[in-house]
Structure 1
Amino acid sequence: MSTLLAAINTASAPKPFGHYVQAMNAGGLVFVSGQLPARLDGTSLADMPFEAQARQSLANLLAIVEGAGLRHDRIAKVTAYLVGVEHWTAFNAIYAEAFGEHRPARSVVPVPALHHGYLIELEAIAVS
């Protein structure tokens, strides 16, 4: 049995920094690659406070899900990598604001560092 794979790329989110796609649809599951807090034009927000970085990462993630033709309520799972567990409370509030009543499964993973000096990276799985 062959699973159809379709790359998802949208101009509404920053282009990937490496050898990967923004997301991949694999048999109706949309796997969104890790989203860092970069602006649409690729410029970094690494020098901004955590809250600004979290909002940008979420905006990038949601733009990719929309680029796959889905709404945010089709997101089934989010994994958040945070530099510093002290950001958990702020992240939780910003996340709740972005998702409203929808509550995807979620993991928050404290990490010692992320590429380019960012404080957050988000990835997700959505269902088409």
Structure 2
Amino acid sequence: MMSTAIQKVATLEAPQAIGPYSQAIVYGDLVLTSGQIPLTPAGEVVEGGMEAQTHQVLTNLIAVLKEAGTSLDRVLKATVFLKDMNQFAEMNQVFESYFGDHKPARSTIEVARLPKDVLVEIELIAAK
């Protein structure tokens, strides 16, 4: 039986992992990203509301996916964590602007708190 190697993904174009995790893992033809929050690659929280924060999260995810050899048009599933479900429409408008006609499966969950008290976190599963 053939073993599939697990490959860690790291790019300086997105915030560095600050704990015992990787920005993403490649396993076979799948790329599983860690949740990205609206930090700049330098580690600073993006100021502004849901729109600005969602743009930064997706910019980070694009960089991680690129390093892993894939892109947003290969995303199979997105999981979105929101601090306040009342801001869903704002997040959704930005999300749609990045994905266009590509409509990956998605779950959106309201959570009590996110790291650094940001408004949004997104993780992705993509095909290579």
Match of 1:116 in 2: 116
Question: What is the CA–CA distance in structure 2 between the aligned matches of 1:3 and 1:117, rounded to whole Å?
Answer: 37
Question: What is the CA–CA distance in structure 2 between the aligned matches of 1:10 and 1:123, rounded to whole Å?
Answer: 16
Match of 1:27 in 2: 28
1:105 aligns with 2:105: yes
Normalised TM-score (structure 1): 0.94
1:94 aligns with 2:89: no
Match of 2:65 in 1: 65
Structure 1 stretches of 4+ with a deviation exceeding 3 A read none
Query: What's the CA shift string for 1:61-84, capped at 9, x where partnerless?
Result: 111111111121111100000000
Instruction: Give unpaired runs (5+ residues) of structure 2.
Output: none
Instruction: Give unpaired runs (5+ residues) of structure 1.
Output: none
RMSD of aligned Cα (Å): 1.1
Question: What is the CA–CA distance in structure 2 between the aligned matches of 1:40 and 1:88, rounded to whole Å?
Answer: 25
Match of 1:82 in 2: 82
Instruction: Give the fraction of aligned pairs with identical amino acids, expressed as a percent.
Output: 38
Count of aligned pairs: 127
Match of 2:15 in 1: 14
Match of 1:38 in 2: 39
Match of 2:126 in 1: 126
Question: What is the CA–CA distance in structure 1 between the aligned matches of 2:106 and 2:30, rounded to whole Å?
Answer: 16
